[in-house]
Amino acid sequence: MQPRRRAPYNPRAMDPDEVQADRESGPPAVTRRVVTTEAWTGEGRVRTEPLQETGPLELEGFLPGERVEVELEATPDGGVRRRGRRAWRLASARLLESSADRVEPGCPVFGLCGGCALQHASYAAQLAWKRERVQAALARAGLPAERVEPVLGAARSYAYRNKMEFTFSPEGRPGLHRRGRWREVLPLERCPIALHPIQEALGAVARWAEAERLPGYDKEANRGFLRHLLLRASEAGGEWMAVLATTPPATLEGGEERWRGALERLGERLAAVEGFASLQWVEDAEPGDALHFARAPRVVRGAATIEERLGGLRFRLGPETFFQTHTAQAERLLETALALAAPAAGERVLDLYAGVGTFTLPLARAVGPAGEAVGVEVVEASVEAGRAAARENGLGNARWVAAKVRSFLAGLSGERPWSTVLGAPPLPEGWRPGLVLLDPPRSGAGRKVMERIAALRPRRILYVSCNPEALAEDLALLVPRGWELAVARPVDLFPQTPHVETVALLHPAAGSGSR
């Protein structure tokens, strides 16, 4: 059996152009070895048994327990030595014996695209490995791995993403970056993990760009019109929005009239696709390959937001609003968080990195009018969306503080006066939460935030994380401060990828003195 992809599986394998250049300087020595893959690595690769020439290899596109023939090439000059051996590189890898967990990938460009990395593994195998990944991360940090429960899997492991960002190639075709070559864009007209409206919208934009013959942005030359395409869809109402990022038309040849006319025709084309709600345009003059919102998006056609529902609550989502990418699994995540946190009527709750309030609002509803839920979020657009959602859902006991979490906690814990942090106290003096929930970025919260949370001495802490390694590092900071892990419950919000969300509940350790 042969894997579908033909590219080398080792992420450290040389670029084909470099290999060709080496070959022109003289044929390298080649050797072949048959190896057995042993275990997953944190990024969804597999590690092999050690080889005499290289030690263990990390291979992409294979599963644990498979037999693989690898071809190794020595460095061209033959004189480089590493630990007493010649230096070798992986040239190719071929599957000889497959695992029972191997399945046919659901995407025709699997292995070429830089996105999903686990489509060749059965969903059951993906979930088992994700639990092992969380357990391993906690164990390395000295935390009890046996408290990690089985992963809560998704009923739908394809056609689930409610938001995706695409990049335009210099030829003006939207797509995703090619694996291992971030300067190249792999053109696409569909992506199997995206919700169906997003797939339909992507195809419509691709056909529009081709018909208009619009140039894409060339990063190296710093010129071109089309840069990025953001697509976001709502599962609740079936509506979707498109946000097109382009170079400012005033800086391009042909004048603004040509480019604005093309945008109007895009609006007409997209309006014919079922569920269309919004086309917005943002001008991006920054060099590089990231989507910037330095200028506010302008509505070309339709509304400024779309509506989504979570936990029976309504949320308005704009281009910059953070929202979990798998709505159905976000419901399970919310149910898990509420079940573990067990908010009590009349309790004060602090929600850090609150976004639009996907946890803040349900917590406010759970604690009732006698209680209070405070969300802390640095992105102003999300704060405004959260406040609007609180009004729309009739939750007057939910409030927001627009601030960096680290600075806010410095004031709340008394480490620094409010006047030096936010200018004025956002909460009454002596305000303390019974529950602290945090859902930080992928990099984690960090030492200062965790120390300041511990200083508040809440009755429990609920940590929601999309990165097991960062989660483990942050939780380990709480142990010497009198906290212990009660349970960790993973939820799979990212099927077909190595990522996994985890909800961890911590209690004060016996005899710690915490309330």
Show the DSSP H helices in 146-243 as ranges.
Answer: 196-212
- β-pair partners for 376: 352, 401
At which residue do the structure tokens 């945090």 appear?
A: 438
Residue 172, both tokens? 């003006």
Nearest of 243, 252, 312 to residue 278 by alpha carbon: 243
Find the Cα–Cα–Cα–Cα dihedral 364, 453, 455, 421, rounded to 10°: -90
Give the Cα separation of 318 and 183 in Å (integer).
29
Identify residue 384 by its one-letter amino acid code.
E
Q: Which residues are catalytic?
A: 466
Q: Where are the alpha helices (DSSP H) in 65-160?
A: 123-140
CA distance 107 to 192: 6
d(CA 438, CA 383): 16
Burial 461-500 (b: 16+ CB within 10 A, else e): bbbbbbbbbbbbbbbbbbeebbbbbeebbbbbbbbbbbbb
Rounded distance between C-alpha atoms, residue 274 and residue 268, angstroms: 12
Q: Which amino acid, one-letter code, is at 282?
A: V
Query: Pairing mode, if any, of strands 348-352 and 372-377?
Result: parallel
Token pair 């990022």 in the structure block, residue: 245
Identify the bridge partners of residue 463 per DSSP, sorted by sequence position: 438, 504
In 213-254, which ranges are continuous DSSP H helix?
none
Three-state DSSP at 237 gives coil
DSSP annotation of 148: B
Region label for 423, one of left (φ > 0), alpha (ψ between -120 and 50) or beta (otherwise): left
Contact at 8 Å (CB) between 243 and 282? yes
Residue 347 belongs to what H/E stretch?
A: none
CA distances from 318 to 88, 172, 308 (A): 50, 25, 11
Backbone angles phi, psi at 379, to 5 degrees: -80, 115
Q: How far is CA 436 from the centre of its chain?
A: 23
CA 1 to CA 94: how far, in whole Å? 9
Helix (H/G/I), strand (E/B), else coil: 241: strand
